[in-house]
Amino acid sequence: MTDIKESDWKTFRKLHPIALNRFCQRVLEDTNRIIANQDQTAHEKYLAIYKLIHDSDKEIQQTFDDLRRSTAILKLAIMLRLGLITEDELRRFSDETQDLLNRMRNWS
């Protein structure tokens, strides 16, 4: 992977905490759904929440850790795949970065 251009790096740095907050909000909403499920015992809920947090930790690490210019495009692609970056936010990036990210989206 090549380094992201400076203007895109600045945009990425601004969107990074927003995307992280969205991710965490999603996990909290999922946790609330588990807690509200009347068909499960407390132990079953605990196990479901444990698995959710464990799996979410892996995704957080892959998506948000090791923040460098050389990893920014890959991190952005993951954020897009997870629905953490909106199309409006994507348009803040240069045409070059948008094109690259759109090509990466088409690979999956």
Q: What is the pLDDT of residue 5?
A: 93
Q: What is the distance between the alpha carbons of residues 104 and 50, in angstroms, rounded to a whole number?
A: 32
Tell me the pLDDT band of 1, cut-offs 50, 70 and 90: low
Q: What is the distance between the alpha carbons of residues 42 and 64, in angstroms, rounded to a whole number?
A: 31
Tell me the pLDDT band of 106, cut-offs 50, 70 and 90: confident
What is the pLDDT averaged over residues 28-33?
98
Tell me the pLDDT band of 99, cut-offs 50, 70 and 90: very high
Cα dist from 60 to 5, 52, 55, whole Å? 24, 12, 9
Domain ranges of the chain: 6-107
Tell me the pLDDT band of 108, cut-offs 50, 70 and 90: low
